[in-house]
Structure 1
Amino acid sequence: MDVTTGSFLELLLADAEAEEFDAPPARARARGEPPETLAELDRQRLLALRLREILIGQRRNGAELRLLNDTANDLASLHDLDTILQAISDRARRLLNCDLAYISLNDEDESTYVKAASGNISGALRELRLPKGTGVGGLVARTGEPHHVLSYSEDDSIVHRPEIDKTVLAEGIRSLLGVPVKLKQSVIGVLLAAHRSPRTFSSRDISALAMLGAHAAVAIQNARLLAETQAAVADLRVANATIRSHAEDLERIADVHERLTRLVIHGKSVEDVVAVAAASASGAVALLDRDGAVVTAAGPAPLPPGPGLASVAARAQESGRSVVRDGLCAVPMIADSEVLGSVVMHGVAAVSDIDRRTLEVAALVASLVLVTRRRMAEVEARVRGELLEDLLATSAQDHDLLRHRASLLGVDLGARHVVVVARADPQVRDRLHTAANALARRSGGLATGRKDEVVLLLPGANPGAVAQEAVRELSGATSRPVTAGGAGGGGASIAAAYDEASRCVRALLALGRAGEAADARDLGFVGILFGSRPDIGSFIDATVGPLIEYDRDRGGSLLETTEVFCATGQNTTATAQAMHLHPNTVAQRLARIARLLGDSWREPDRMLEIQVALRLLKVGRR
């Protein structure tokens, strides 16, 4: 190695600038070296310059690798997506030694929007959104390939948009390079580097930025996965809390159900069910029948005024499910498709799910209690009815056996009793039977239902008073007029008392006194006729017998004329109009009636007897 060659090596070691490598040949020319020497020096200078470029490239590669390695380490330690994107922008700017670097991510509408920037001088860049295919970023997002321009504003290969060009102008961008950020061959964003003066981007720049983009894709995916994992963990925590809350609610419901079930086992009433429900729920609880009337209530809050409870209860019964409205919760009580009523909670600002479920359990148990009691009452009513039917039978009976059966039901046949026969509208027959059974059970008596009437055997000594009390209670239970007759009877006289009470009912109905109660004494003269041994036929014959014979023998209408004449207040003209006859014809008939019954037939006392006889005749014909 000669001295000149050593000079070039010294320059390389000194990391001299390229211009300094021209000095050795220049000195050789100044010394007058031969041409072959000068040619060799030029060749060695070129080799030294090439070696210098290789060394510079290796150093640059080493720096880039170190920067990328540091970037990878830094990104691995970051978890927040915004922080990661900002770090990528900062490293891209350092890696390419550019004026500006930024990263954009693709949106669901296939546009790309800037998420982080480094070196920007305006806020407009962070608000920029690029439709797919527009600008350098939009183009790279669409093609998935790197793209660079020497002068953005003068490049016609990209699609310009006013809002994009305005931002480019505000940032002073001239040269621009964009590489895709890919994840499994899918472009999720674009990493861009820019210069504010014209500059070409080498393949080395493109490769370096692409490598950083690859790191960015992994970091972005990790951050997203971490965010999804954290969200999933949060959801799991919420789910676990919900499950725990539901488990606690289930335990409370199970405890309420167990307590209510014990009430059924021990034969408790619906009042006890409502009390337990009120103690378990947040508010007060009331039980309403199917008509909206409050049967029982419990809890600290008083019953609210107005139709609120009945309204929400009716809504629940109509829908067949729980109804929550205005701080009220109503649950229908249904058994065998029959609505029995509703359980309603009130006195709270808001009804919780646990309160609703508590009421549903309470409604179920209350329905069971009501149905069980009804079945027991039906069995008891049947037994009581069978006993009363046996007592009413006219055939010979073992009275000792009947008294023993009655004693088992708490009925003392040796005490004084009243037989009450009651009738009402056939449409409420079932309700009348139910009310009669309840009255008999409560009074320590017996009841049975027949086709168009109910018969009761109730303790008491005053038939009229007992019958009136029965009418009051039965009318209230059926919401319809109830007519009843009473007769005293006990032991073997029960059948006879039934006959007398039944005649009293028929007499009341015939006299137009429906909805009243009476015994034979209350009916006065009519009652005497309807006594134990009435001679009604003789009375009718003695009073209006001639008229009956006349109509029968001659096909007349004197009985009808007499009845209408009495009904119209003994007015001849009104009688003629009612019977569609000429007044003279009516006058002739009245004269014939006077001849048959006597001239005194129109006197008040005689007229009363005639009217009674006509009524009794009508009753007898029914």
Structure 2
Amino acid sequence: MTHLDVDGDALRRRYGRLREVHEATGSLITLRNVDALLKEITQRARLLLRCDSVYLDLPTSDDPTVFAVRTWSGDLTPASLGTTVSRGNGVGGIVLETGEPFQVENYLSNEDIQHETAHDDMLAGNDIATLLAVPLVFGGRITGLLFAARRLPRSFDEDDILILTALATHAAIAVRNAQIDEEKEAALGRLSDAVTESERQRDVLTRSALVHGTLSDLVIQGATVREVLEAINSTLDIPVAFLDRSVPHRPRHLSVGGLVVTPDVAGRIIDSAEPSPRMRSVTTGDERWLVVDAVTGEGMLGTLVTPENPRVDTDLGRVLERAVQSLSLCQLSTRALAAADRRSATELVTKLLQSPPRMTEQLRRRASRHGIDDRGAVPLVSDINAPSALQVAAEWTDRSGGLFASIDDRLVILVTPDTPTPDIHKLTDRLIRQADGTGPGNIIVGGHSHGIEHTADEYVAACRALKFADSLGVRGAVHSADEWSVFSTLFHEPDSASLDRFIQENIGPILSYDDRHQSSLSETAKALLEDNLSPKAAAVRLGVHANTVNQRAARLDRLLGETWRRHPRAFIVLAALNLHALRTDL
């Protein structure tokens, strides 16, 4: 099994498990009894992580900063019920301090953790070695702690932590939803304004669940960041933009709903970034923005931006904070899938260069991971295909976007449409220096395509120009495909009778002689004209003795007349020889 297969299988397993979390949400939000809901959460978590036990802590009624075991699923003893944890004590205490997931192996023997006797006794009584805890967060505060436990000292992997965190996100909404329902039932008939507030909260939570469910589906399907933004825009009816910083060297600004974020404004917002996924306000000149930073363990991935307006209240801000979690997952998945694409780039590049291309939605998404959108790409084609050149292409596309592949002994690079021309020049300069022992090679830079469906045509034109350059003896040069367009017209127009006449009128006799005698007089004539009529230099070029060249030159004089050696006729004869060579090669 290849490395790519392993990555693909891992991604499919991750998406399958995320789908299970999403499916679990449907059953969670239908439960209105808090105790039944909490039990369902722990059972779902235990099934998803396949661990020995899962338990859930909620704040105690006496002190909201102290959390106690409310329910569990698995092998915990009844004596575990009510065991408390507070800030600074144990795994749960660390989570209460940091707000981030935390786990430890060999809990009881770990000296880096502040231990509390009652909690240690509970873990020892249940023979627990490994403990993972994630927070349930609602309204910017921790409302619960979800623990996963194993008897063996074996850590939970990153996927397990991701799955448990995702479930906790859903669970926090569902728990609060159920609590609101219970509180509403207790308050009905006493305070009408309490009923109104409850319904408002319910509406916010429903909309939040709808947004989160929609975005979860998109992430599972491998959607692009733009598709996630469009879903936020259509569901919440607000314009949004995402300042994408998942690849530091090529940030992109994606906007939907008509929102325009200028580079200057984007720079100020980025400079104000905070390491916290909380909605905040940023002022740039006369404009005020509400922004939420997408922060993960891998660093800052980007910033979600919307103009400040009265509709975006605190509750809607929480929805946006949860939406950023989906954007983060989308970015991480996109990064992983893009890495997988680069390892099988030949297949992807070949599909993009089909004429006409079959642009399925899946192919568009794959291309967009590398910065290639409906505007197409600039094809760069070279006969410099040494391993060092491939390494240059790999480093450049990883940093600047685009794709590369080795096709038909050519290096093909698809450059993103936003790439500045000076950057393309830097790339071609590096590639020219990578020619191997076969001698210097050529690079052809194709034209900017006007749509991805025309990229294949630009690639064909670049390949044709590369062949022209080789046939004309050009080496170690960078050209644009447009520079060779005259030859393309000359050799690919339906009517080429005039070209036939030109060749026959000027070198027809020696071509006929070569055909009859299987000789190479045309090659000798070309070598003499290109080497200033020096028999010695032509002999070296042809790999024969100088006397042989002299004998062939005499025969050329008889066939063409001695004037073939002198200008202007020498220029015309050489042009005819080159054109004939080009036609033969093509």
**TM-score of Structure 1 vs Structure 2, range by shorter chain:** 0.3 to 0.5
* Structure with higher helix content: 1
Larger Rg over CA atoms: 1
Normalised by the size of structure 1, how large is the TM-score? 0.33
Relative contact order, higher structure (CA 8 A, sep 6+): 2
Normalised by the size of structure 2, how large is the TM-score? 0.35
